[in-house]
Structure 1
Amino acid sequence: MLTRRSQVIAGILLLLIVTVEFGGVFMTQVVNGNVETTDFQASFWRAGHAHAGVLTILSLTAVLLADGARVAWGAVGWLARLAIPAAGVLMSTGFFVSALGDGATGPNGFVVILGLGGISLAVGVVSLGLSLLLPRLQLPAT
């Protein structure tokens, strides 16, 4: 059973899937040639859309795993539940905004957001993994 905090996180994540759907509509326009892009832009935007969807689903899984293992709500528990969704937002945003600009053939300075997303993803999965492996990071059995 999900804690109330995790229910809120999961609810927000499910609503974020609608933004991924809008990204899919945009990507359909790109693939159909209705949006003028360079090959670089199309590939970065495709990667941004894919990362948004995959990391949102991974985030939902992480929340379920954390609550299922009764991971405590300390700093590590919060990271285990929130760093992965943050990575999804950061990475997809990084892919999209670093490819903006007419005729862009390489990333602009916003590409640094991708790195921040990668760090957030690593922090989230390591926090969750350690929380699942180390009983002292879990709530006592009732």
Structure 2
Amino acid sequence: MAIQPHTLILFGVLLLSLITVESGGWFLTRVGRGSIPANALQKNFFRAGHAHAAVLLMLSLVILVVLDAAHLPAGYDVVARFGVPVAALLMPAGFFLSVLGKDPQRPNRLLALLWIGAGSLTLGLLTAGVGLIVAGVQAS
């Protein structure tokens, strides 16, 4: 199975994006030590944002590897290829940005990014999953 050049580029971008997750981990250690003041809501949302970023970026890498072998039609391929990486940006952004400020008591309107990201995740997973099943059935 040959990996396409555009897949290699996206793979590289996603790997470099994991550096931001690493710096997010350092940020969380500072929050945990009390160096950065944060209330309970912020701590929970920061942890959730960090975890979602890492897991979704790794899932994105896995999906990319198999999509080149599936040869999905162009429109489906774009949704399958970018749905999860877009979610990996939007969902953590929703968690982090919705609780910025001094002692917020509830998330702000930027929490909508979380739900837009969840929609992107669902579309990406659905398209990739169905596309891979169809490709497998056609290949057998």
Normalising to structure 1: TM-score of the pair? 0.92
Cα drift, residue 134 of structure 1 = 1.2
Alignment match, 1:13: 14
Matches within 5 A, 1:92-103: 92-103=92-103
Unaligned residue ranges in structure 1 (runs of 5+): none
1:50 paired with 2:63, answer: no
Relative to total residues, which structure has the larger helix share, 1 or 2?
2
1:36 paired with 2:63, answer: no
Q: Using the alignment, how far apart are the partners of 1:128 and 1:70 within structure 2?
A: 9
The 3-state SS of whatever aligns with 1:59 is helix
Tell me the number of residue pairs that the alignment of Structure 1 and Structure 2 aligns: 137
RMSD of the alignment, in Å? 1.5
Q: Is the 8 A contact 1:37 1:103 kept in 2?
A: yes
Q: Is the 8 A contact 2:70 2:131 kept in 1?
A: no
Matches within 5 A, 1:1-142: 1-67=2-68, 69-72=69-72, 74-135=74-135
Supply the AA of the counterpart residue of 1:64.
Answer: V
Q: Using the alignment, how far apart are the partners of 2:40 and 2:70 within structure 1?
A: 46
Question: 1:29-68 CA distances to partner (integer Å, 9 max, x unpaired)?
Answer: 011111101000000011000000000000000101212x
Change (3 A) 1:73 1:27: farther
Q: Using the alignment, how far apart are the partners of 1:124 and 1:71 within structure 2?
A: 15
Normalising to structure 2: TM-score of the pair? 0.93
